Amino acid sequence: MARRTLDPSHTELISVLEGLLSRNEDVTARAVTRLHTSIRDASGITRHPERRQLLEQYQARQKQLRKVLGQVQKSGTAVAADKLGQALERVRELESNEAARIASHLAMIHAVAEIGGTAKLQRFYKQYADIRDRLAREGSLSPTFVGNDQ
């Protein structure tokens, strides 16, 4: 038969177990004895049926919580990887669209130049020097139109 305890409702023991669980520290009899004020050795828990039952309940809860936490971390990584993949795909799509716009812009400039509209394009780009310079840096404007601000 177990000895009488000073705390028959085991409030301090439960408090210690809750603390270990909330900090995700291993719930063991030794860990409890390090934190408990009156229980000095692990056998004080393992040989007492009520204390052992409480310890086993909290160990089971910890096992279940860690399993769920592992699943969340695993799926969280999968979700992050999926979002990164989607973002990279979007960047590729935008880069492809930009390349198509540059090619289209150059083709239109050449078409206008071929039909004799070079002077008008130069006047247009003279008004929009900042845009002209940006287009030149991106490679979407012929060097013929760059630097004609006079």
Reported as a single tens digit per residue, the pLDDT across 32-66 is 999 999 888 999 999 999 999 999 999 999 999 89
Mean pLDDT in residue range 69-83: 81
Of 43, 23, 24, nearest to 33 (Cα)? 43
5 band by pLDDT with thresholds 50, 70 and 90: low
Q: Where are the alpha helices (H) located in the chain, listed in sequence order?
A: 11-22, 29-35, 43-46, 49-114, 118-127, 129-138
43 in Cβ contact with 27 (< 8 Å): no
Phi then psi for residue 124, to 5 deg, are -60, -50
Mean pLDDT in residue range 7-33: 91
| Bigger pLDDT: 137 vs 147 | 137
Among all chains, which residue has been given the structure tokens 């050795």?
Answer: 41
